[in-house]
Amino acid sequence: MNHGTTTFVAAALLALSAHARAQELVRDTPSPPDAANEAPTKKISLGFAAGGEFRELYGIPITAVDVRGTLAPLAARKGMLLPGLFASVLVGATKEGLGVGHVLVGPRFEARSRYFFAGLSAGFGYFWIDRAGGDPMGNFDAAADVFGGPQIPLGHLALALEARFSAELLPGTDATFAYGPGLAVRLRFD
Amino acid sequence: MVDFGESSDSTQGEAPLAALARRVLFALPVFVLLGLGVRSMPAPGLREDEVQCEEALARIQSCCRPLYASNLACVYVDHGDCNPPTLPDLSVDESHVVEQASCSDISAAGYCTEWFAHEPPEDDEDD
């Protein structure tokens, strides 16, 4: 099984497990005596996003697909700000076709209004790039994203267009940033 | 669809099994991701000369196809304090030149003959 397939399988499993864990938490957590006006059906907000990403590494352009899941306990909301977690799997290729990928997890802070959302996230994980013939080379990865966009509320769902700009710090001998924009379609379940 | 055991009227006997299944389902991706990370962790740290050399090598391979890259190495090897390291065959500057060159320029520069000394290996039935 190659890297791409493996990472997509991992992302799918992660999404399934997040859903299962969320439902478990919902069932195990007693309801407050009187819910707020918004009265969400679940205690956890789940989101799934998939889209295209661009990166530049040492001046080499990279195009990629990013799949990410988000999870946020609605009880932790402070005004418009909702803290949570995210996990991202990115698979792509350089201009000359070398495979590139990352796996990241980390905290995420999102501010929401009815039709817009925006926020910041910080991820930690691993970044790799395939050699032309041989094993991949890689590095630990510390990433920061700024994201935002419009959303269409559909009951307890929201369909959103998420634009983001990401910078990934790759420490080491030639420490550098891989950075670039991304655009994704996001579905959120509250 | 996967049933996560949400039905409220499940019997007492089913609950522990369902809970165990949910926990396994929750833990599985963590192990998959850990395994994936370990698998893709040959050596921490990227080097620009290696990355640029690999990109240049991919460019050469695409231009010189179907000839096969046999002699060009992009791996940095540290031999310790007493011996100089093995550097990638292409420096960062050389790699930049290759990445921006046309295929005809790459061929004219001799990369398709100098580095690609023979045809790609087909079968191991030479004799």
Per-residue pLDDT, averaged over B25-54, amounts to 69
Pairing of strands A134-154, A116-131: antiparallel
Burial bucket for residue B17 (CB in 10 Å: 0-12, 13-18, 19+): exposed
Chain B hits for A3, CB-CB cut-off 8 Å, are 40
Percent of chain A residues topping a pLDDT of 90: 63
**How high is the pLDDT of residue A100?**
96
Chain B hits for A126, CB-CB cut-off 8 Å, are 37, 40-41
The third-level CATH classification (topology) of the domain covering A3-27+42-189 is Porin (2.40.160)
Task: Answer yes or no: do B27 and B57 share one domain.
Answer: no
| Contact call for B48 and A13, based on CB within 8 A | no
**How high is the pLDDT of residue B111?**
81
Task: Answer yes or no: do B63 and B106 share one domain.
Answer: yes
B27, B33, B52: residue with CB nearest A103 = B33
- Encode pLDDT of A29-52 as tens digits: 555 444 344 555 568 999 999 999
Residue B123 covered by a domain = no
Q: Please state the pTM of the whole predicted model.
A: 0.69
Global ipTM? 0.74
Local confidence band at A172 (pLDDT 50, 70, 90 cut-offs): confident
**How high is the pLDDT of residue A25?**
54
- Among A180-184, B39-43, B60-64, whose mean pLDDT is lowest? B39-43
Residue B29 covered by a domain = yes
Task: Answer yes or no: do B16 and B67 share one domain.
Answer: no
Task: Answer yes or no: do B30 and B85 share one domain.
Answer: no
Number of domains in chain B: 2
**How high is the pLDDT of residue B107?**
83
Per-residue pLDDT, averaged over A51-67, amounts to 97
Residue B120 covered by a domain = no
Say whether pLDDT at B120 is over 60.
no
- Which candidate, A98, A87, A186, places its Cα nearest to that of A143? A87
Task: Answer yes or no: do B19 and B36 share one domain.
Answer: yes
Task: Answer yes or no: do B37 and B54 share one domain.
Answer: no
**How high is the pLDDT of residue A46?**
94
- Distance to chain B for A1, nearest Cα, Å: 11
- Encode pLDDT of B51-99 as tens digits: 999 999 999 888 887 666 557 889 898 888 888 888 998 999 999 999 9
Task: Answer yes or no: do B16 and B61 share one domain.
Answer: no
**How high is the pLDDT of residue A60?**
96
Task: Answer yes or no: do B25 and B52 share one domain.
Answer: no
Nearest CA in chain B to A6: B36
Residue B126 covered by a domain = no
Residue B34 covered by a domain = yes
Chain A hits for B78, CB-CB cut-off 8 Å, are none
Q: What does the CA dihedral A121, A122, A123, A129 come to, rounded to 10 degrees?
A: 100
Task: Answer yes or no: do B57 and B94 share one domain.
Answer: yes
Chain A hits for B4, CB-CB cut-off 8 Å, are 19-20, 23-24
| Contact call for A98 and B2, based on CB within 8 A | no
Residue B119 covered by a domain = no
CA angle A128, A130, A134 (to 5 degrees): 130
Nearest CA in chain B to A174: B47
- Encode pLDDT of A124-142 as tens digits: 999 999 998 778 998 899 9
Chain B hits for A96, CB-CB cut-off 8 Å, are 55, 58-59, 62, 99
| Contact call for B69 and A132, based on CB within 8 A | yes
- Which candidate, A132, A142, A72, A74, places its Cα nearest to that of A102? A142
The ranges assigned to domains in chain A are 3-27+42-189
A10, A136, A139: residue with CB nearest B33 = A10
Assess A20–B contact: CB distance below 8 Å, yes or no.
yes
- Distance to chain A for B58, nearest Cα, Å: 5
Those residues with Cβ within 8 angstroms of residue A85's Cβ, 6 or more apart along the chain or in another chain: A70, A71, A72, A105, A106, A107, A108
Task: Answer yes or no: do B108 and B63 share one domain.
Answer: yes
Contact predicate B30/A21, CB 8 Å? no
Task: Answer yes or no: do B34 and B55 share one domain.
Answer: no
DSSP chain A: --HHHHHHHHHHHHHHHHHHHHHHHHHHSPPPSS--TT--SSSEEEEEEEEEEEEEETTEEEEEEEEEEEEEEGGG-BTTEEEEEEEEEEEEEETT--EEEEEEEEEEEEEE-SSEEEEEEEEEEEEEEEETTEEEEEEEEEEEEEEEEEEEEETTEEEEEEEEEEEEEE-STT-EEEEEEEEEEEEEE-
Residue B124 covered by a domain = no
Hey, what are A176's tokens? 């550098």
> Mutation test of the interface with chain B: which of A3, A41, A44, A58, choosing the one with the most B Cβ atoms within 10 A?
A58
**Structural domain span for residue B72:** 48-114
Task: Answer yes or no: do B52 and B95 share one domain.
Answer: yes
Contact predicate B36/A7, CB 8 Å? yes
Chain B hits for A170, CB-CB cut-off 8 Å, are 46
Burial bucket for residue A142 (CB in 10 Å: 0-12, 13-18, 19+): middle
